Chains A and B, each alone.
Chain A
Amino acid sequence: MTTDSTTKSPEAASVPPPGAAPAPKRAARGRRRLLTRRDRFTLALMAGVPTVLHVALVWVTALASIALAFTTWDGIGFDSIKWVGLENFKQLFNDNPQFWPAVQHNIIWFVVLILIPTPLGLFLAVQLDKNIRFSRVYQTAFFLPVVISMACIGFVWQLVYNPDTGLINSLIGANKPGHYIDWIGDPDLNLWAVLVAASWRHTGYMMILYLAGLKGVDPSLREASALDGANEWQTFKNVIFPTLRPTNTVVLVVTIIEALRAFDLVFVFNKGAQGTELLSILVTNNIIGESSRIGYGSAIAVVLLVISLVVIVPYLVATFRKERRS
């Protein structure tokens, strides 16, 4: 298809002028006429192929998994799909001892990420934005955890938390019989232990987002507020932070996504054992493997989808409506 468009391009270049000549009267209609048939063909191809792929890989699969949530299926042959209505959801809400803890943990994950690493990242970004010495070095150091894959982070941190040979227990002498602190296994501790690792990474992520936002703040705003006699805190609170609004939207959305898709870190850390159950891990446990419970797993995935829609859609709608108005 590329050869097709290149060989015929000289013709294409020669066609527009006659179409364009009578146009100037009405701009809107004229622009439409500017497109020759070839242009339209190219455009259709360019927009069409990605659309087909998008629909096939995103929408069809998403809708299929919603449909499967109302069935039972072991993944062997399409004739073994059985319609069960709301049965999967009933079992999930009433009888699955891991479901509600998982929902709770996903929420805790979000709350912790928004309360600790996000302000910390903003703080670091503001400091780095002052062009202090070695700012690039700090920037790199704080951002490094984001570059490392989540699986590696999980692996490294579970070494740190290892009850027998881990760094923490060795330092505080908690690796003797009777004194064990089981960071990875204790259901009262392990979620927080994982969240330390998650926050460690998320801080760097937030820092880079805010840093990018701060670089975009018009210096004349700072100058003006300095002339008005505002101190540093007042400038930040009343001038800088409000201009970071678009960045805040991105930060919020990114953090919600991070909280809902939290998976790899925990899976490597302790496979989502008691105390660290997450919705994404329940989906995986039910769907992946032999004689899989695809219907049941899809039901959990649908719950995850609904939660993300409920959280994200109203916020984005409200934000963009405001942006458009201003």
Chain B
Amino acid sequence: MHLPLSGPFAPTPSRRTLLRGMGGAAVLGAGIPLLSACGSTDAAADPKTVTVGSNASDAVPKKAFADVYAAFKKQSGITVDVNTKDHNTFQEQINSYLQGTPDDVFNWFAGYRMQFFAAKKLAAPIDDVWDKIGGNFPDAMKKLSKGEDGKYYFVPMTTYPWAVFYRKSVFQQHGYKVPTTWDELIALCKQMKKDKLVPIAFGDKDAWPAMGTFDQINFRLNGYDFHVQLMAGKASWTDAKVKATFDHWAELLPYHQDGFMGRTWQDAAQTLVAKKAGMYLLGTFVAQQFTNKDDLDDLDFFPFPEIDSAYGQDTVEAPTDGLMVSKAPKNHAGVLKLLEYMGSPAAEELYLKGDPSVVAASSKADTSAYSPLQKKAFDMIGGAKSLTQFMDRDSRPDFTATVMQPGLQKFLQNPKGVDGLLASIERQKKQIFATS
């Protein structure tokens, strides 16, 4: 208990308190060299070692990466020294990490979040790697791997789509058909409500799931190009097109599970597991909540229905994870070899063996070992005309975290106040994007 003891209590500083202060100072002083020692564990550049800073802190991806690196060592004789940090901590510290003494290679996301560090010169271009691996990837992936200057900065490894998930048995039991247009979706929601189902499961306690719903409605209604412009801060949030997106959302909102502000996505997924909800718009990671094999086999998904026939269902939201190279890698030759390997179908297949919740970014990777869900996800991404990454990866993270997350939650609480909300978002957007 630290009470501000002064005034009436203040004892005259005795020799003992002074000594204690010095002892504390000595401890602090001793701690400083220890701390600095942590930062410089890597000795001189070793041609047989490449260091990787990893955010794959969960057991499954961590093990999957370890397997891939072991195979790489066997093939090339180069050891991969992995430095794993907690996923969220890694993300929060990325700024200082990349400015300090980063590892040669680090795990990161495609899209705006990659381009930001490329533009800040905190990442090294890897066009030489892409000369060799370019043939392994579809055009949409190539687009995702380039910085604003047109150079490659990123090697995609895995990806997964966002879609509307449902249980086959529930749809069969009630004779529902997969909706392909907005009107069919609304009609289906109405029918589900009559059948005492929650039409759309929803939980927005963590504030990011709502961004997924916005993305789907916005690029279906206004198209990929407008969506990207909006995310990049170029199009205006007060545009009538954005207003229309929110109007559509407001139409769909009454069919969402209520009490969503206090519910996590895991709890919302449980209502789908329990067959109390009909549909759930989320990424394929929703499958993690289906721990029973029969339930998992019963899970299926469809792409978000078409709203404007001009755009159909041509865009898929497929967040992509992969690797980047830090600004001054110590072992440049080793880094090139590693990334070449990581961009090969063989490495991605090996990774997926350890982590089957995602699909390979490469179109050359063997799909025979995929589960039906993975196969469907793979086809959906492969057939997409454009890929988006998710709002917080396609736009400035400071904008999405401090403006959009609270903004969308405000909309969900009060769908009628959308005009004032959009004006406020636009004002704040201008301020944030003005500072770059």
Q: Is the CB of A77 within 8 A of B99?
A: yes
Contact pattern, A 195-210, Cβ under 8 Å of B = 1, otherwise 0: 0000000000000110
Contacting residues, chain A, for B4 (C-beta < 8 A):
250, 253-254
Q: Is the CB of B398 within 8 A of A163?
A: no
* B261 within 8 Å of A (CB atoms): yes
* A183 within 8 Å of B (CB atoms): yes
Q: Is the CB of A46 within 8 A of B205?
A: no
Q: For the complex, what is the distance from the CA of A265 to the CA of B64, rounded to whole Å?
A: 36
CB distance from B333 to the nearest CB of A (A): 28
CB distance from B156 to the nearest CB of A (A): 19
* A222 within 8 Å of B (CB atoms): no
* A258 within 8 Å of B (CB atoms): no
* A129 within 8 Å of B (CB atoms): no
If A77-B99, A180-B258 touch, does A274 touch B413 (CB 8 Å cutoff)?
yes
* A263 within 8 Å of B (CB atoms): no
* A16 within 8 Å of B (CB atoms): no
- Stretch from B178-186, B359-367, B423-431 at the A interface: B423-431
B181-214 contacts to A (CB < 8 Å):
198, 204-207
Contacting residues, chain A, for B258 (C-beta < 8 A):
177-178, 180, 182
Q: Is the CB of A76 within 8 A of B99?
A: yes
* A270 within 8 Å of B (CB atoms): yes
Q: For the complex, what is the distance from the CA of A254 to the CA of B424, rounded to whole Å?
A: 37
Q: Is the CB of B431 within 8 A of A162?
A: no
Q: For the complex, what is the distance from the CA of A319 to the CA of B7, rounded to whole Å?
A: 9
Q: Is the CB of A291 within 8 A of B116?
A: yes
Chain A interface, number of residues (Cβ within 8 angstroms): 60
Q: Is the CB of B24 within 8 A of A97?
A: no
* B83 within 8 Å of A (CB atoms): no
Q: For the complex, what is the distance from the CA of A270 to the CA of B409, rounded to whole Å?
A: 12
Chain B interface, number of residues (Cβ within 8 angstroms): 58
With both beta carbons as reference points, the residue of chain B lying nearest to A319 in the complex is identified as B7
* B262 within 8 Å of A (CB atoms): yes
* B92 within 8 Å of A (CB atoms): yes
With both beta carbons as reference points, the residue of chain B lying nearest to A52 in the complex is identified as B25
CB distance from B295 to the nearest CB of A (A): 18
With both beta carbons as reference points, the residue of chain B lying nearest to A75 in the complex is identified as B95
B399-415 contacts to A (CB < 8 Å):
401-402, 406-407, 409-410, 413
* A288 within 8 Å of B (CB atoms): yes
Contacting residues, chain B, for A209 (C-beta < 8 A):
3
Q: Is the CB of A46 within 8 A of B406?
A: no
Contacting residues, chain B, for A175 (C-beta < 8 A):
259
CB distance from A26 to the nearest CB of B (A): 21
Residue from B7, B28, B263, B402 within 8 A of A249 (CB atoms): B7
Q: For the complex, what is the distance from the CA of A254 to the CA of B263, rounded to whole Å?
A: 34
Q: Is the CB of A75 within 8 A of B96?
A: yes
Q: Is the CB of A291 within 8 A of B267?
A: no
Q: Is the CB of B21 within 8 A of A96?
A: no
* A19 within 8 Å of B (CB atoms): no
* A292 within 8 Å of B (CB atoms): yes
Q: Is the CB of A274 within 8 A of B22?
A: no
Q: Is the CB of A290 within 8 A of B259?
A: no
If A46-B22, A76-B95, A180-B259 touch, does A165 touch B9 (CB 8 Å cutoff)?
no
Q: Is the CB of B402 within 8 A of A323?
A: no
Contacting residues, chain A, for B95 (C-beta < 8 A):
74-76, 290-292
* B30 within 8 Å of A (CB atoms): no
Q: Is the CB of B398 within 8 A of A293?
A: yes
Q: For the complex, what is the distance from the CA of A161 to the CA of B427, rounded to whole Å?
A: 35
CB distance from A165 to the nearest CB of B (A): 7
A232-273 contacts to B (CB < 8 Å):
246, 249-250, 253-254, 270-271, 273
Q: For the complex, what is the distance from the CA of A97 to the CA of B96, rounded to whole Å?
A: 29
Contacting residues, chain A, for B116 (C-beta < 8 A):
290-291
CB distance from B338 to the nearest CB of A (A): 24
Q: Is the CB of B409 within 8 A of A91?
A: no
Q: Is the CB of B401 within 8 A of A273?
A: no
Q: Is the CB of A290 within 8 A of B205?
A: no
CB distance from B420 to the nearest CB of A (A): 9
Contacting residues, chain A, for B9 (C-beta < 8 A):
246
With both beta carbons as reference points, the residue of chain B lying nearest to A324 in the complex is identified as B7
Q: For the complex, what is the distance from the CA of A253 to the CA of B5, rounded to whole Å?
A: 11
Q: Is the CB of B398 within 8 A of A289?
A: yes
* B71 within 8 Å of A (CB atoms): no
Contact pattern, B 37-48, Cβ under 8 Å of A = 1, otherwise 0: 000000000000
Q: Is the CB of A164 within 8 A of B263?
A: yes
Contact pattern, B 4-46, Cβ under 8 Å of A = 1, otherwise 0: 1101110000000011011011101100000000000000000
Residue from A47, A95, A291 within 8 A of B18 (CB atoms): A47
* B371 within 8 Å of A (CB atoms): no
CB distance from A20 to the nearest CB of B (A): 18
Q: Is the CB of B205 within 8 A of A274?
A: no
With both beta carbons as reference points, the residue of chain B lying nearest to A270 in the complex is identified as B205
* B122 within 8 Å of A (CB atoms): yes
Residue from A53, A185, A250 within 8 A of B262 (CB atoms): A185
If A289-B91, A320-B7 touch, does A163 touch B410 (CB 8 Å cutoff)?
no
B interface with A by C-beta (< 8 Å): 1, 3-5, 7-9, 18-19, 21-22, 24-26, 28-29, 91-92, 94-96, 99, 113, 116, 120, 122, 198, 204-207, 257-263, 267, 270-271, 396-398, 401-402, 406-407, 409-410, 413, 424, 427-428, 431-432, 435-436
Q: What would 15 A/B residue contacts be, using CB atoms closer than 8 Å?
A: A49-B29, A50-B25, A77-B99, A97-B407, A163-B263, A164-B267, A165-B267, A182-B262, A185-B204, A273-B409, A274-B406, A277-B406, A285-B402, A289-B397, A290-B397
Give the 10 A-B CB pairs with smallest separation, nearest first. A185-B261, A184-B262, A180-B259, A185-B262, A163-B259, A49-B25, A72-B435, A163-B262, A182-B259, A46-B18
